[in-house]
Amino acid sequence: MIELVVFDMAGTTVHDGDAVNSAFRATLAEWQLDADPAQVDAVMGLYKPDALRILLDGFGGERIRPTPETIDAMHASFNRRMLAFYETDASIREIPGAAETFASIRAKGIKVALNTGFSRPIADAILRRLGWSIPDVVDAVVTSDEVAHGRPHPDMIRHLMATFGISDPLRVAKVGDTRADLEEGTGAGCALVIGVTTGSFTREELGEYPHTHIVESVADVPGLIEG
């Protein structure tokens, strides 16, 4: 019996095109680093400072050391880009069926929460644009900067479990579009770890990581959830 479903945001429930990948690459370009989109896709879903650190370690470390000061500066630049995008860009919208999925699951008496590798200001900008208020549309939202460790660590899921008084992870489902999402759900011990193919990873790519299901979109999730 599932009591809580935790959904990722960008790529899973929120359509933003190539915005996150583009913002990463534009940020790195400020430091004269040219990242391939595939390199950036590989770190999607992670807490953004961790993603930037991995990218620097991978191809920029010889010229630019990933010091805390450098990572902080890059993260601030990335955040400015993403905040401006989510506050103003006309292309942002929900993944088709997302709000209906939330409503269907909540109608079964199950809590619905969102988690994200973004910081709180960016998450709040997305929620405002889509009109996803708490508790009218979802029951809770947690961001990576509100816990000790972001994805793939399970801290955000455990935070949400504590919020709702759920002690058994076998009563929790995790839904996301990246490797980090699947590893997060698996690390938390969730009964269901569901990958969706609307984001950065294909079905074949997601299939390489621990999961219970891979579906086309969040619209397919309610049929997997029993309350």
The per-residue pLDDT for range 49-60, each reduced to its tens digit, is: 999 999 998 876
For residues 45 and 117, the answer to whether their CB atoms sit within 8 Å is: yes
> Residue 57: what pLDDT?
87
User: Residue 62 — pLDDT band, cuts 50, 70, 90?
Assistant: low
How many domains, in total, are found in the chain? 2
Asked whether residue 28 falls in the same domain as residue 109, the answer is no
Q: What is the mean pLDDT of residues 221-225?
A: 96
Q: Which residues pair with 15 in a beta bridge?
A: 93
Computed over every residue of the chain, the mean pLDDT equals 95
Residue 61 has pLDDT above 60, yes or no: no
Q: What is the enclosing helix (H) or strand (E) of 173?
A: strand 172-176
Question: Which residues span the domain enclosing 24?
Answer: 19-88
Q: Are residues 129 and 204 in the same domain?
A: yes
**Looking at 41, 68, 88, which one is the last position of a domain?**
88
Q: With 70 as the cut, is the pLDDT of residue 89 above it?
A: yes
Q: Are residues 65 and 166 in the same domain?
A: no
CA proximity to 25, closest of 94, 74, 93: 74
Give residue 19's pLDDT: 94
Judgement on whether residues 99 and 199 belong to the same structural domain of the protein:
yes
CATH of the domain at 201: 3.40.50.1000
Confidence at residue 59, expressed as pLDDT on a 0 to 100 scale: 73
* Same-domain status, 213 and 124: yes
Of 179, 174, 175, give the one whose Cα is nearest residue 152. Answer: 179
Residue (of 54, 187, 44, 188) closest to 117 by Cα position: 44
- Looking at 88, 104, 119, the residue that finishes a domain is 88
| Whether residue 46 is found in the same domain as residue 109 | no
CATH number for the domain that contains residue 49: 1.10.150
Rounded CA-CA distance 39/133 in Å is: 34
Regarding whether 140 and 33 lie in a shared domain, the answer is: no
| Rounded distance between C-alpha atoms, residue 123 and residue 143, angstroms | 7
Same domain, yes or no: 203 and 118: yes
Is the peptide bond between 152 and the residue preceding it cis, with omega within 30 degrees of 0?
yes
CA triple 181-42-182, angle to 5 deg: 15
Domain boundary at 45, 70, 88, which? 88
Q: Domain check: are 82 and 113 in the same one?
A: no
Q: Are residues 96 and 81 part of one domain?
A: no
How many helices (H) and strands (E) are present in the chain, helices listed first?
Answer: 9, 8
Same domain, 113 and 181: yes
Which distant-in-sequence residues (6+ apart) come within 8 Å of 204 by Cβ? none
The residue whose two tokens read 């994200």 is 116
pLDDT tens, position by position, 120-177: 999 999 999 999 999 999 999 999 999 999 999 999 999 999 999 999 999 999 999 9
Residues 9 and 34 in one domain: no
As a whole number of angstroms, the distance between CA 163 and CA 157 comes to 10
In angstroms, how far is CA 157 from the centroid of its own chain? 12
User: pLDDT for 164-183, tens place per residue?
Assistant: 999 999 999 999 999 999 99
Q: Which of 54, 52, 44 is nearest to 21 (CA)?
A: 44
Residue-level pLDDT at 224 = 97
